[in-house]
Amino acid sequence: MKSILAISLAFFTVLFSSEAKDLYLTYSTFIQEAQAGHIKTATLSKYSEITGTGFINGEEQSFHTYSKTGTTNDPLLVSLLNDKSVQINTATDEKDLIGQYHSLLLFVGSSMIIVPWITLVLIILVLLLSSRILVRTKKTG
């Protein structure tokens, strides 16, 4: 019983530790913070996620937000962040990596389906040909 309590206490200590978590900002709040010069770094994804650090509510914090458009394709956002000397990074999304290897994944996936069938057909052909050869040799022999 004591061990269960100790494990539960350890679990909740890790779960609810005072480790800093990302602060969620609405996109309009993010823009206001950027215009005020409070954003220090921003990582823009190809899609709509923005993460970074800034001096928000008087202390340096990590944040994340989402825009309605693809962030790396938004010239006004990039211009605003450049004007405010924000260090801009671009993120490599897992979706991008999958997109880059999409053709390879399709080839490997289809090969895993097609190769066993081709092997089966070849085995059947070899068996049929060998049985015909045996029948011919028996007839002539």
Q: Is the pLDDT of residue 111 over 50?
A: yes
Question: pTM here?
Answer: 0.52
pLDDT of 103 reads 67
Residues 6+ apart with CB under 8 A from 61: 20, 22, 23, 53, 54, 55
DSSP alpha helices (H): ranges in the chain?
2-15, 27-35, 75-83, 94-100, 102-140
pLDDT of 15 reads 47
Report d(CA 72, CA 79) in Å as an integer: 11
Report d(CA 44, CA 52) in Å as an integer: 9
Beta bridge partners of 39: 54
State the pLDDT confidence band at 110, using cuts at 50, 70 and 90: confident
Query: Is the domain 2-91 a CATH 3.40.50.720 member?
Result: no
| Maximum mean pLDDT: which of 7-16, 18-27, 83-92 | 83-92
pLDDT of 85 reads 94
Q: Is the pLDDT of residue 19 over 50?
A: no
Report which of residues 3 and 90 the model is more confident about. Answer: 90
Domain boundaries, the chain: 2-91, 101-140
Tens digits of residue pLDDT in 47-101: 788 999 999 888 999 999 988 776 667 888 889 999 999 999 887 655 555 555 6
